[in-house]
Every structure is written in structure tokens, then in C-alpha cells.
Amino acid sequence: MEIVVIGAGGRLGAALMREYRRKFDVIGFDRAQLDLSNRDQIRERIDAASFDVLINAAAFTNVDLCETQRDRAFYINAEAPRVLAEICRDKDAKLIHFSTDYVFDGEKREPYTEEDEAHPISVYGESKRAGEENVLAVKGRHLVVRVNVGPVAGGDDPGGARDHAETGVTAPGYSASDYSGILHFANAGQCSWQEYGQWALDCCEAFGVPIKAKTVDALELKDMTRLRQGYGGQANWMAPRPVYSVLSSARYTELTGASPRTWRDAVADYIRRFYSKK
Ligand SMILES: NC(=O)c1ccc[n+]([C@@H]2O[C@H](COP(=O)([O-])OP(=O)(O)OC[C@H]3O[C@@H](n4cnc5c(N)ncnc54)[C@H](OP(=O)(O)O)[C@@H]3O)[C@@H](O)[C@H]2O)c1
């Protein structure tokens, strides 16, 4: 099985590389090796590669910068995936393209399913939704995997994405990767970002990882605007975030017979494996 991973230098892409290198013939492209904003380069480099599965883990993920760089967001998150889908169609290869819970507006109060209508409220969300549509509009066996990290009050944390690699949602050979269309995948359970952060600190303490604080206080999403100051003029918390963005993994479980582990187990395992010296 030959696999190409685009975005191999990113959080999810690097985790996929770590996981698949042990089992498959994998080639990774980081941004220096393949710039998705250069269509000719995509065609030249990906056309030349031999693969059965192409995984696109690259994206313009800075949610706030997307607000002011709309064209770039749409090019990388929507136009480039279309080109990748066309290449996969022509090579009869499988495309696995990653998307996000940010395609939803966050108005629901129970986990979003694949049938729920996407209604993005940020440029990032709009561009990722356009990417999903572009990929699925191209004939082929394309899989769009929407991921998130579980907490109720949206954000950009990588923890869940890393877990997806380790849980095997994209792993060739699993029935989930034979599926075409949109598939949600997230760790089980739900929490606020405060609970998530607190649990991470509790795990650090339990595993002997040095920490400067032991408690995470509550801050409402609407009050996060004050974080706009103090980051050297960088755009922070400019983009609206969905306040509730839990994804239901029920379809994934139906397809695979497997249930994702809980977010608490995933965070604990991640901290133990990557930070604990014990
Ligand atoms: N992390 C989350 O919380 C989360 C939640 C939901 C969905 N997702 C989705 O999961 C996928 C992976 O995200 P991630 O968390 O791994 O994000 P990430 O760490 O930001 O990785 C994205 C990668 O894409 C690369 N990239 C950006 N612009 C590029 C370009 N023009 N050409 C080629 N590569 C480019 C980045 O390179 P540079 O570092 O050099 O810019 C980075 O290595 C994305 O589709 C994202 O939308 C993530």
C-alpha cells in the first residue's frame, strides 16, 4: 500500500507519518516540499508520485488570519483540494481529505451528525466547507473526514487530531476508509475548554510533568476578545467560533464496529506518551 501525506509537517500530518511509517510505504510532503497555493506545483509533484491513497492533512488553519486573508484561505482550503481530488480521480486513487467541526454554526445542543446542514460562521469554516463540496463534486472514491477535539466551546487544539491518527480512522484497510462521502470522527464525550484544560493539567501533575499553574479558570467565549490585545499586533480571536461543535461518531462506529475512546483517555494517553518522563 503506497500512501502520500500532504501537510506532513503539521500536527495531524506528522502524527499520520509516525503511525503509517511503521506499516506502509509512505511519502510525506511538508509545505516546503509542496505549496498548495501553487497549482502547477501540485500537478507536477503529486502527478509524479505513485500512490494508492492520498491524505490531505494540510490546510490554512489559522482561524483568525483567515478572516483577513480570504482569498488565500479559499485557495488552500477549497481550490487545492479540488485539484487533489481530480488527480486522485485520474489515478484511480483514494483521497482522504480532512475537514472541521467549524463548518457548523454551533447553534445545536447535541452532537452534529453528517446529515446536519453545514452553516459556517467564519471565513475558515466557509473555506473548509467549500473544500468539502469541491472534493465531493469530483467523481471518485473521496472521503472527507470532519474532525474536532471534543470541547463544547470550539478552538484550535491539536489533541484530537493527533488521536485520529492513532485510532486509525484513516488507516487503509479499515472499512471507514472504504467509505465515500463525509464522516465525522471525534473522541467520545464532551466538555468545555475549561474542563479540557483542567484535565490536561491534572494529567500533567499525575505524570510528573512540570507545570506553572494547577487551575484553569472559566472565561466566557464572548470575553475572549480581550485576548486580542497583547499579541504583537497579531489577529487573535477575530473570527467567530461555534460555541458548540461536538461531532457524533455514530456513523464511524456503525461502519467499523469500533468506538473512539473518551477524550479524557486520549488526553491522558497523549500527555503520558509525549511529555511524561516517568
Ligand atoms: N487542530 C484542530 O483543532 C483541528 C480541528 C478541526 C479540524 N482540523 C483539520 O485537520 C487538518 C489538520 O490540521 P492540523 O491540526 O494538523 O493543523 P496544522 O498543524 O496547522 O497543520 C496544517 C499544515 O498545513 C500546512 N500548510 C499551510 N499552508 C500550506 C500550503 N499553502 N501548502 C502546503 N501546506 C500548507 C502547514 O504548514 P506551515 O506550518 O508551514 O504553515 C501545516 O503543516 C486540517 O484540515 C484542519 O482543518 C484541525
Three-state SS sequence of the chain: CEEEEECCCCHHHHHHHHHHHCCCEEEEECCCCCCCCCHHHHHHHHHHCCCCEEEECCCCCCHHHHHHCHHHHHHHHHHHHHHHHHHHHHHCCEEEEEEEHHHCCCCCCCCECCCCCCCCCCHHHHHHHHHHHHHHHCCCCCEEEEECCCECCCCCCCHHHHHHHHHCCCCCCCHHHHCCEEEEECCECCECHHHHHHHHHHHHHHCCCCCCCCCCCCCCHHHHHHHHCCCCCCCCCCCCCCCCCCECCHHHHHHHCCCCCEHHHHHHHHHHHHCCCC
Residue 222 lies in a domain: no
Residue 219 lies in a domain: no
173 Rama class: left (phi>0) / alpha (psi -120 to 50) / beta:
left
CATH of the domain at 166: 3.40.50.720
30 Rama class: left (phi>0) / alpha (psi -120 to 50) / beta:
beta
What is the residue range of 126's domain? Answer: 2-190+243-266
Structural domains in the chain (count): 1
- Tell me how far the alpha carbon of residue 232 lies from the centroid of ligand 1, in angstroms: 23
158-211 pLDDT, tens digit per residue, is 334 334 444 334 843 446 778 999 999 999 999 888 999 999 999 999 999 999
69-84 pLDDT, tens digit per residue, is 999 999 999 999 999 9
CA 196 to chain centre: 17
pLDDT at 260 over 80: yes
Residue 238 lies in a domain: no
Would the pTM count as exceeding 0.85? yes
Residue 102 lies in a domain: yes
Q: Ligand 1, closest atom to CA 149?
A: 3
Alpha carbon nearest to ligand 1 atom 1, residue: 158
82-138 pLDDT, tens digit per residue, is 999 999 999 999 999 999 999 999 999 999 999 999 999 999 999 999 999 999 999
Is 124 among the catalytic positions?
yes
Asked whether 77 lines ligand 1 (CB < 6 A), one says: no
Q: What percent of the chain has pLDDT over 90?
A: 76
Residue 229 lies in a domain: no
C-alpha cell at 159: 489533541
Residue 201 lies in a domain: no
Q: What value does the mean pLDDT take over residues 244-268?
A: 93
- Tell me how far the alpha carbon of residue 206 lies from the centroid of ligand 1, in angstroms: 31
Residue 22 lies in a domain: yes
